[in-house]
Chains A and B, each alone.
Chain A
């Protein structure tokens, strides 16, 4: 990967000082304000730090439940849970049991059960549970992770169905100066630019992995890799931040680009709420 990219790295781009590089990587430099030669990178960083999507929070219910259970189980009596986890550990292969119990009953005590060091006294629970979980997760083989994933998905299925999470459509960052507009279904032109940039960079590099975004991009732009490549080259050329400085509006309304670190998110962006119904973390009789 690196050797074939060396020629690119030698391309003349104006060096930037440390402070500018820091601001660029912190997402504090918009493409319009980027130094010459760095507008494309600034756009990519903006694309990579775009708003969270519901798909990126899909395991919220399960993870939150596991987190609450892990914390509360450390500071609560665990004797009742211990008996049930010991039974589980006998009935199932040890690692599978650990994976399942971690997701369902709570991480800390479950992992301790697997290691055979489950403490009965509350005062001893915390360090053992912590060590136990770290040990358990580190010992899980790759194929066991599928079990975790499946278990988490199953656990969260009933609750995620009620989620009302929505994505607030991003404000369009770029006014396209020509006829090549954003791809249908894309939230804004900046996303199209970022995706096209990623697609073109990927086509020329060693990365051949597929993604939903690439598939959708291809479907929306002609149905073939070559057609999409042509579209993206045209789109990037027409909408590149470094080229359209006179016709491109600065992303002043961006929800991600212009807020400085240290400031909380502006209120009123999105206010959807997630009703979360989680099994009792201390449920000593429900499992």
Chain B
């Protein structure tokens, strides 16, 4: 019997909540439905993080993160936010490894001229549009910031992590993360202000 699992709306505020302990225990026992719940809750944020930081390999990096995390899941102990932080920490290591493999080459930019030949908005594209919108927003946030600032903001926004968890994932001190966050928020407010966007 396939359990019925509702699609959950993603967001830092949308969490499994009180059901989490049961879901985690079931996943650690190999229950398919529990993996579905975890995947649906965590993958959009994880994917958006990668699409913001390394768009050309975002899908693959998200998949690699799950494949790296799954064998270690039975050893995990903690709550939902801790699992989110754990997953992003694995993902962050995958991203760094990816950059090392690529000799830190940035992803190849796309000629802006090719933007003009987009297809129309049919039903299929409309379905993909919401995801792309979220990913475009995350990407715009990343592009407005230095890499360190982008990591802090994206992990806070997309991972729903607090300062201490972000510091742990990034290997920085909480005070350093606070400073990066402060500068990033000021910069983003300027970037996305009415004046900056319409000038």
Report if B82 contacts A (CB, 8 A): no
Please tell me if the beta carbons of A209 and B132 are within 8 angstroms of each other in the complex: no
Q: Chain A residues near B126: list those with CB within 8 A.
A: 185-186, 216
- 10 example contacts (A-B, Cβ-Cβ < 8 A) are as follows A2-B146, A38-B185, A57-B40, A63-B63, A140-B64, A194-B133, A197-B192, A201-B191, A211-B55, A273-B5
Report if B170 contacts A (CB, 8 A): no
User: Which residues of chain A from 229 to 287 have any CB-CB distance to chain B below 8 Å in the complex?
Assistant: 232-233, 236-237, 240, 242-243, 255-257, 259-265, 267, 269-276, 278, 281
Please tell me if the beta carbons of A37 and B193 are within 8 angstroms of each other in the complex: yes
Report if B158 contacts A (CB, 8 A): yes
Report if A48 contacts B (CB, 8 A): yes
Q: Chain B residues near A102: list those with CB within 8 A.
A: 67
Please tell me if the beta carbons of B11 and A67 are within 8 angstroms of each other in the complex: no
Please tell me if the beta carbons of B144 and A270 are within 8 angstroms of each other in the complex: no
Chain A: minimal CB distance from B185 (Å)? 5
Q: Chain B residues near A210: list those with CB within 8 A.
A: 110, 114-115
Report if A119 contacts B (CB, 8 A): no
Chain A: minimal CB distance from B176 (Å)? 14
B interface with A by C-beta (< 8 Å): 2, 4-19, 27-32, 35-36, 39-40, 43-45, 47-48, 55, 57, 59-60, 62-64, 66-68, 70-75, 94, 97-98, 101-102, 107, 109-112, 114-121, 125-141, 143-146, 153, 156-158, 160, 162-163, 178, 181-183, 185-198
Please tell me if the beta carbons of A276 and B12 are within 8 angstroms of each other in the complex: no
Report if A25 contacts B (CB, 8 A): yes
User: In whole angstroms, what is the CA distance A182 to B183 when docked?
Assistant: 32
Contact partner, B143, options A1, A74, A263, A272, Cβ 8 Å: A1
Q: Chain A residues near B62: list those with CB within 8 A.
A: 59
| A237 closest partner in B (C-beta) | B198
Contact partner, B60, options A57, A145, A185, Cβ 8 Å: A145
Given the known inter-chain contacts A51-B9, A67-B66, A276-B2, please indicate yes or no for A24 contacting B185, CB distance below 8 A: yes
Please tell me if the beta carbons of B9 and A52 are within 8 angstroms of each other in the complex: yes
Chain A: minimal CB distance from B135 (Å)? 7
Chain A: minimal CB distance from B10 (Å)? 4
Contact partner, A274, options B5, B57, B133, B183, Cβ 8 Å: B5
Please tell me if the beta carbons of B59 and A149 are within 8 angstroms of each other in the complex: yes
| B14 closest partner in A (C-beta) | A265
Q: Chain B residues near A115: list those with CB within 8 A.
A: none
Report if A33 contacts B (CB, 8 A): no
Known: A38-B189, A219-B120. 14 other contacts (CB 8 A): A13-B190, A38-B185, A40-B192, A47-B136, A52-B40, A63-B67, A67-B70, A68-B35, A166-B7, A198-B133, A204-B196, A225-B112, A260-B13, A261-B15
User: In whole angstroms, what is the CA distance A146 to B98 when docked?
Assistant: 13
Report if A178 contacts B (CB, 8 A): no
Please tell me if the beta carbons of A60 and B40 are within 8 angstroms of each other in the complex: yes
- The contact string, 1 if C-beta is below 8 Å from chain B, for chain A 125-155, is 0100110011001101110011011001000
User: In whole angstroms, what is the CA distance A48 to B110 when docked?
Assistant: 22
User: Which bracket fits the contact residues of A?
Assistant: 35 or more
Given the known inter-chain contacts A137-B67, A276-B2, please indicate yes or no for A207 contacting B143, CB distance below 8 A: yes
- The contact string, 1 if C-beta is below 8 Å from chain B, for chain A 76-117, is 000000000000000000000000001100011001000000
Please tell me if the beta carbons of A48 and B137 are within 8 angstroms of each other in the complex: yes
Chain A: minimal CB distance from B159 (Å)? 10
Q: Chain A residues near B198: list those with CB within 8 A.
A: 200, 233, 236-237
User: In whole angstroms, what is the CA distance A64 to B26 when docked?
Assistant: 13
Q: Chain A residues near B98: list those with CB within 8 A.
A: 142
Chain B: minimal CB distance from A48 (Å)? 4
Report if A123 contacts B (CB, 8 A): no
User: In whole angstroms, what is the CA distance A107 to B72 when docked?
Assistant: 11
Most buried by B among A52, A57, A108: A52
Chain B: minimal CB distance from A132 (Å)? 8
Q: Chain A residues near B196: list those with CB within 8 A.
A: 8, 11, 201, 204
User: In whole angstroms, what is the CA distance A206 to B109 when docked?
Assistant: 9
User: In whole angstroms, what is the CA distance A60 to B137 when docked?
Assistant: 23
Report if A205 contacts B (CB, 8 A): yes
User: In whole angstroms, what is the CA distance A207 to B109 when docked?
Assistant: 8
Q: Chain B residues near A243: list those with CB within 8 A.
A: 194
Contact partner, A213, options B36, B107, B132, B143, Cβ 8 Å: B132
Contact partner, A56, options B18, B47, B117, B190, Cβ 8 Å: B47
Please tell me if the beta carbons of A44 and B141 are within 8 angstroms of each other in the complex: yes
